């Protein structure tokens, strides 16, 4: 279980200056939206709890994720691997799928917990899925088992997300 979020240790990277591709706005506007520390803490704790249920016999890389819906409800997911590797389900997409199944279409924040040395960002497929339901300013808290945290805006992690405006 990760240590409590200490807002003094959460770091922010400078946002990239290129366009984020979502609505033609500069990525510099994609700074993490203010979300109460207790909400981010709750997301991290729920991600830690669900990570214990991850099925990762091949990679041994367990991941837990939690997303905050616009309704205020939290949805969780863990990675589920398959011997046919391409069929694996990432924790972040599992959490988003749970949110959508419950009727959510807008996400306000996310947390991802891994056992990696440094907090690990979501893969590209998961970032694109988060971008479908979250804004470029949506805070994404990355946490590892030692309690190291990085708080980034979704637009910093995926500055050129494909968006419906391209269709």
What does the pLDDT look like over 113-155, one tens digit per residue? 999 999 999 999 999 999 999 999 999 999 999 999 999 999 9
Residue 89: inside a domain = yes
In the three-class reduction of DSSP (H, G, I as helix; E, B as strand; rest coil), residue 94 is classed as helix
Over residues 77-86, the pLDDT tens digits come to 999 999 999 9
Per-residue model confidence (pLDDT) at position 31: 66
The per-residue DSSP string of 96-159 comes to: HHHHHHTT---EEEEEEEE-SSSPPPPPHHHHHHHHHHB-TT-EEEEEETT--EEEEEHHHHST
Q: Which domain holds residue 131?
A: 32-161
Q: Has residue 149 been placed in a domain?
A: yes
The stretch 75-99 carries a mean pLDDT of: 97
At 134, which CATH number? 3.40.140.10
Residue 26 in domain = no
Instruction: Work out the average pLDDT over 16-42.
Output: 59
Report the candidate in 57, 45, 120, 132 with the shortest Cα–Cα distance to residue 93. Answer: 132
Classify 15 as helix, strand or coil: coil
- Encoded tokens for 69: 């819906």
Is 11 part of a structural domain of the chain? Answer: no
Asked, for residue 153, whether it belongs to a domain, the answer is yes
Residues involved in catalysis: 92
pLDDT for res 35: 75
Domain count, the chain: 1
| Residue 36, pLDDT score | 77
The number of C-alpha atoms within 13 Å of 164 and in the hemisphere containing its C-beta is 6
pTM of the full predicted structure? 0.81
Alpha carbon dihedral 14, 117, 64, 130, in 10-degree steps, equals 30
- Predicted pLDDT of residue 111: 98
Could you report the per-residue pLDDT of 30-86, keeping only the tens digit for each? 666 677 788 999 999 999 999 999 999 999 999 999 999 999 999 999 999 999 999
Within-domain flag for 20 = no
| Rounded Cα gap, residues 36 and 20, in angstroms | 25
Mean pLDDT of 5-20: 33
Q: Which stretch of 19-23, 60-64, 67-71, 162-166 has the lowest confidence by average pLDDT? A: 19-23
Q: Where are the beta strands (DSSP E) in 8-61?
A: none
pLDDT at 34: 76
């Amino acid at each position: 279980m990760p240590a409590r979020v200490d807002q003094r240790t959460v770091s922010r990277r400078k946002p990239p200056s290129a366009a984020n591709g979502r609505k033609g706005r500069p990525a510099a506007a994609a700074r993490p939206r203010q979300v109460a520390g207790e909400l981010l803490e709750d997301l991290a704790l729920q991600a830690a709890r669900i990570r214990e249920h991850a099925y990762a016999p091949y990679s041994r890389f367990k991941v837990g994720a939690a997303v905050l819906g616009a309704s205020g409800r939290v949805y969780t997911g863990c990675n589920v691997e398959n011997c046919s590797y391409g069929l694996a389900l990432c924790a972040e997409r599992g959490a988003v799928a749970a949110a959508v199944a419950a009727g959510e279409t807008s996400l306000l924040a996310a947390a991802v917990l891994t056992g990696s040395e440094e907090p690990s960002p979501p893969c590209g497929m998961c970032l694109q899925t988060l971008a479908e339901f979250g804004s470029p300013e949506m805070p994404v808290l990355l946490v590892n088992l030692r309690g190291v945290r990085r708080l980034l805006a979704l637009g910093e992690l995926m500055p050129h997300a494909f968006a419906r405006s391209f269709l």
